[in-house]
Chains A and B, each alone.
Chain A
Amino acid sequence: MFKMFGNSHRKRSGYSGEWSQNYEHLKEKNAEQLTDELAELIEAAANGHCDMASIDAHLDALDEIDPLAFEIDVKASYNSFMSKHAVEMEREATRATVADVSVPRKKHSQNIRRLATLAAVAAVLICTLVLANSVNTSIFDAIAQWTSGVFSFEKEASFATIKTNPLAEGDSVSFDSLEDALNAFGITAPLAPQYIPDRFSLDEVCAANKAGNIFISAFYISNDGYIKLRYNQTAGSDFRDFEKDDNATTLYDCGGIGHFLIADKEKEKACWQNGEIECCITGNVTREELKEIINSIY
Chain B
Amino acid sequence: MKNSSKRILSFLLTLCVISSLSAVIALAAVQSSDYLDSYRATVVAQSGGRIVILVDVSGCGIMDEIGANAIYLYESQDNVNFYRVGTYNHNDYPAMMTSDSTDYYDTPVTYSGTPGYYYKASVYVYAGKNGGGDQRNYLTESKRAIS
Residues in A lying within 8 Å of B, measured CB to CB: 108, 111-112, 115-116, 119-120, 122-124, 126-127, 130-131, 134-135, 147-150, 170, 208, 210-213, 215, 217, 219, 225-226, 228, 230, 232, 235, 237-246, 264-265, 267, 269, 271, 280, 282
| Interchain Cβ contacts under 8 Å between A and B, 23 examples | A112-B4, A115-B5, A115-B8, A119-B8, A122-B12, A123-B15, A130-B20, A131-B20, A131-B27, A134-B24, A135-B27, A147-B27, A149-B32, A210-B105, A210-B106, A238-B41, A238-B140, A240-B40, A241-B138, A242-B37, A243-B136, A245-B31, A280-B38
Binary interface encoding of chain B residues 15-47 relative to chain A, with 1 for a CB under 8 A from any of its CBs, else 0: 110011001100100111110111111111010
Nearest CB of B to A44, in Å: 54
Closest 3 CB pairs of A and B: A149-B30, A123-B16, A130-B20
Residues 66 to 115 of chain B near chain A (Cβ within 8 Å): 102-103, 105-107
Shortest Cβ distance from B18 into A: residue: A127
Given contacts A210-B54, A215-B56, contact A238 B40 (CB under 8 A): yes
Give the docked Cα–Cα distance between A238 and B46 (Å). Answer: 17
B27 touches A264 (CB 8 A): no
Q: List A contacts of B34 (CB < 8 A).
A: 265
Give the docked Cα–Cα distance between A239 and B140 (Å). Answer: 9
B138 touches A282 (CB 8 A): no
A230 touches B103 (CB 8 A): yes
Find B37's partner among A119, A232, A243 (CB 8 Å cutoff): A243
B102 touches A228 (CB 8 A): yes
Give the docked Cα–Cα distance between A286 and B1 (Å). Answer: 57
Q: List A contacts of B61 (CB < 8 A).
A: 225-226
Q: List B contacts of A246 (CB < 8 A).
A: 27
* A-B contacts besides A123-B13, A241-B40, 4 pairs, CB < 8 Å: A112-B2, A208-B105, A213-B54, A217-B105
Q: List A contacts of B40 (CB < 8 A).
A: 232, 238-241
Shortest Cβ distance from B34 into A: residue: A265
Shortest Cβ distance from B12 into A: residue: A119
Nearest CB of B to A153, in Å: 9
Give the docked Cα–Cα distance between A239 and B41 (Å). Answer: 8
Give the docked Cα–Cα distance between A208 and B104 (Å). Answer: 11
Q: List B contacts of A242 (CB < 8 A).
A: 37-38
B33 touches A116 (CB 8 A): no
A126 touches B32 (CB 8 A): no
Nearest CB of B to A118, in Å: 9
A211 touches B46 (CB 8 A): yes
Find A134's partner among B27, B31, B43, B44 (CB 8 Å cutoff): B27
Q: List B contacts of A215 (CB < 8 A).
A: 56, 105
Q: List B contacts of A120 (CB < 8 A).
A: 12
B42 touches A213 (CB 8 A): yes
Shortest Cβ distance from B141 into A: residue: A237
B5 touches A111 (CB 8 A): yes
Nearest CB of B to A167, in Å: 12
Q: List B contacts of A228 (CB < 8 A).
A: 37, 58, 102-103
B146: interface (CB < 8 Å): no
Nearest CB of B to A175, in Å: 15
Give the docked Cα–Cα distance between A282 and B61 (Å). Answer: 10
Give the docked Cα–Cα distance between A166 and B131 (Å). Answer: 39
Find A108's partner among B2, B60, B107, B141 (CB 8 Å cutoff): B2
